[in-house]
């Protein structure tokens, strides 16, 4: 990136002069490969010989997606059981900033988009997050019965269940995958909020023990 910018800087004053579109392409290429924003708008503007406002106009959509993606990763790690201290260390942000992002998880105003007729796949893409995380935010604060209704599953009051296929909204596609509906029904009928559940069928992970209150 440094070499690309240096060559662009040279071509702003002599040689094969860069057009405005050339500079825009360079700015966007660098921003796309710089999710940590090491190159600020001011630094890019200085190298490209344009104003900071111009660079901001060129790359604002890229920076917005990167910020949203970073925030969704932080929210997901928090829900997987990572401490804020560990998340801050991993992402390079301050613990206060991590805490603020987690506390403002509802910034994803899902209800407004739903009222506009958007579906959950669109909303997940809009916020650059996994579909499962978007659903987790949508279902937060609802009762168990409300969550089953939102998901379109329906509670089955018997203790033997047959589900034809896995719900794509939950879990990755991998050998041995089972329907999320089965897990949800098992937790609902055979555990109490606050119980701990151990899943011994998966390789050890940070989230090996799950708080059932969060699953309900």
Model confidence pLDDT, tens digit, residues 21-53:
988 988 999 888 886 778 889 989 988 889 999
H or E stretch including 196?
Answer: strand 196-198
pLDDT for position 205 = 45
Model confidence pLDDT, tens digit, residues 83-126:
999 999 888 888 998 998 888 765 557 888 888 999 998 888 87
pTM of the model: 0.56
What confidence tier does 200 reach under pLDDT thresholds 50, 70, 90? confident
Using CA atoms, how far apart are residues 124 and 85, in angstroms rounded to an integer? 27
């Amino acid at each position: 990136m440094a070499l690309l910018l240096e060559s662009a800087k040279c071509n702003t004053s002599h040689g094969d002069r860069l057009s405005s579109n050339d500079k825009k392409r360079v700015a966007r290429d660098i921003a796309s490969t710089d999710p940590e924003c090491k190159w600020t708008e001011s630094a890019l503007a200085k190298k490209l010989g344009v104003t900071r406002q111009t660079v901001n106009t060129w790359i604002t959509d890229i920076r917005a997606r990167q910020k949203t993606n970073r925030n969704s990763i932080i929210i997901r790690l928090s829900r997987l059981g990572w401490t804020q201290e560990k998340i801050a260390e991993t992402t390079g942000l301050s613990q206060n900033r991590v805490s603020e992002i987690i506390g403002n998880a509802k910034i994803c105003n899902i209800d407004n988009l739903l009222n506009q007729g958007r579906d959950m796949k669109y909303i997940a893409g809009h916020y650059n997050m996994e579909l499962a995380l978007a659903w987790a935010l949508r279902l937060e604060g609802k009762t168990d019965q409300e969550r089953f209704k939102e998901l379109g599953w329906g509670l089955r009051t018997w203790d033997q269940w047959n589900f034809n296929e896995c719900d794509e909204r939950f879990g990755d596609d991998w050998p041995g995958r089972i329907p999320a509906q089965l897990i949800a029904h098992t937790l609902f009928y055979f555990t109490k909020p606050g119980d701990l559940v151990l899943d011994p069928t998966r390789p050890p992970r940070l989230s090996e023990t799950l708080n059932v209150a969060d699953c309900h």
